[in-house]
């Protein structure tokens, strides 16, 4: 089960991901980001501080959006979730920051 | 010690599978990070079998067996009646190539191969077993 909340803050959209993103729930994350892009969003912060678990299905969703014409910064990964990104080397491909402040600064 | 768990082939059961694996591993004093990566590897294999092997048919089921010996040798058997994808001989591609080719499933298999020490497919007359093994260093 995953919940994705979206708040427009200034010139970016903040997406807060809460719960587990697995093969069953990754479609929810996919739909939420897709809707945010369709409504004109170009800059996104993804708050993962309440993301408890992610499997390859969720990583695939984030990776796919990286290739779109948007800016996406991820922040707040807990140690276990960050470890999954590192095992795959996705921490080198995606822009990942520790805090919201760092993420906002990276957004420009 | 041996633990077993049988579930219907639906994606919604993946959460229960993860809870079962975590519960078992927590009993054996395995570190939180090791538990989380092992849970992930089992989740990936089970998701693969449920989605690609059984098309999420709730009338089918898969069985998971976990064996742990005193030296913290872990053995996970995913037991199934359909022909399992031979992950053991799967040649790991570069992550960039998987992403470029949009092969989402490929990411899961890379994770399993990187987390586990060994992966073996055992084909028996009426069932197939995907056996994942991992030695945990005692602290």
Question: Buried b vs exposed e over A31-61: b needs ≥16 C-beta within 10 Å?
Answer: ebbeebbeeebebbbbbbeebbbbbbbbbbb
Contact B32 A87 (CB under 8 A): no
Which of the residues A54, A57, A63, A93 would you substitute to probe the B interface, choosing the one with the greatest number of B C-beta atoms within 10 Å? A57
pLDDT of residue B57: 92
CATH of domain B2-135: 3.30.565.10
Q: Which residues of B touch A22 (CB under 8 A)?
A: 11, 14-15, 18, 43, 47
Distance (Å) from the alpha carbon of A57 to chain B's nearest alpha carbon? 7
**pLDDT of A81 above 90:** yes
**How much is the ipTM here?**
0.90
pLDDT of residue B72: 86
Q: Residues of A near B (CB-CB distance < 8 A)?
A: 1, 20, 22-24, 53, 55-57, 59-60, 63-64, 79-80, 83-84, 87-90, 93
- Domain locations along chain B: 2-135
Residue A10 Ramachandran class (φ > 0 left, ψ -120 to 50 alpha, else beta): left
Say how many domains are in chain A: 1
Cα(A79)–Cα(A52) distance, integer angstroms: 10
Tens digit of each residue's pLDDT (9 = 90 or more) over A17-73: 999 999 999 999 999 999 999 999 899 999 999 999 999 999 999 988 888 889 999
Cα(B5)–Cα(B16) distance, integer angstroms: 10
Give the closest residue to A65 by CA, choosing from A107, A99, A23, A32. Answer: A32
Cβ pair B109, B98 in contact under 8 A: no
pLDDT of residue B139: 59
Cα(B12)–Cα(A97) distance, integer angstroms: 31
Instruction: Give SS3 for A11.
Output: coil
Cα(B78)–Cα(B69) distance, integer angstroms: 18
Give the closest residue to A44 by CA, choosing from A11, A12, A67, A69. Answer: A12
Burial class (CB in 10 A: 0-12, 13-18, 19+), B75: middle
Chain B residue with CA closest to A55: the answer is B40
User: What domain range includes position A100?
Assistant: 2-107
How far is the CA of A59 from the CAs of A89, B17, B40, B81, in angstroms? 11, 20, 12, 29
Average pLDDT, chain B: 88
Cα(B115)–Cα(B134) distance, integer angstroms: 8
Chain B residue with CA closest to A82: the answer is B33
**E strand or H helix at B61:** strand B61-68
Picking from A63, A87, A90, the nearest residue to B115 by CB comes out as: A87
Which of the residues B40, B44, B113 would you substitute to probe the A interface, choosing the one with the greatest number of A C-beta atoms within 10 Å? B40
Tens digit of each residue's pLDDT (9 = 90 or more) over B7-63: 999 999 999 999 999 999 999 989 999 999 999 999 999 999 999 888 999 999 999
Q: Can you give A56-108 as a three-state secondary structure string?
A: HHHHHHHHHHHCCCCEEEEECCCHHHHHHHHHHCHHHHCEEECCHHHHHHHHC
Q: Which residues of A touch B14 (CB under 8 A)?
A: 22-24
pTM beyond 0.95: the answer is no
CATH of the domain at A90: 3.30.750.24
Helices A26-38 and A56-66: crossing angle in degrees, nearest 10, is: 20
Cα(B74)–Cα(B136) distance, integer angstroms: 7
Contact A56 B102 (CB under 8 A): no
Contact B51 A83 (CB under 8 A): no
Contact A55 B115 (CB under 8 A): no
């Amino acid at each position: 089960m995953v919940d994705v909340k979206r708040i427009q803050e200034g010139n970016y959209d903040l997406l807060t991901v809460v719960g587990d993103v697995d093969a069953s729930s990754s479609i929810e994350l996919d739909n939420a980001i897709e809707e945010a892009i369709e409504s004109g969003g170009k800059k996104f912060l993804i708050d993962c501080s309440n993301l408890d678990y992610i499997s390859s299905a969720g990583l695939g969703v984030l990776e796919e959006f990286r290739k779109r014409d948007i800016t996406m910064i991820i922040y707040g990964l807990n140690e276990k979730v960050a470890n999954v990104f590192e095992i795959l080397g996705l921490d080198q491909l995606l822009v990942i920051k520790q805090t919201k402040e760092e993420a906002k600064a990276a957004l420009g | 010690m041996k633990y077993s768990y049988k579930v219907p082939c639906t994606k919604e059961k993946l959460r229960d599978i993860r809870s079962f694996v975590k519960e078992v591993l927590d009993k054996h004093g395995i570190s939180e990070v090791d538990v989380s990566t092992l849970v992930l590897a089992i989740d990936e294999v089970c998701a693969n079998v449920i989605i690609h092997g059984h098309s999420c048919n709730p009338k089918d089921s898969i069985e998971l067996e976990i064996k742990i010996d005193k030296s913290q040798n872990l053995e996970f058997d995913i037991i199934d009646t359909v022909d399992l994808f031979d992950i053991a001989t799967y040649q790991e591609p570069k992550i960039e190539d998987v992403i470029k080719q949009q092969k989402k499933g490929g990411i899961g298999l890379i994770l399993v191969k990187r987390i586990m020490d060994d992966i073996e497919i055992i084909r028996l007359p009426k069932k197939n077993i995907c056996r994942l093994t991992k030695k945990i260093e005692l602290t």
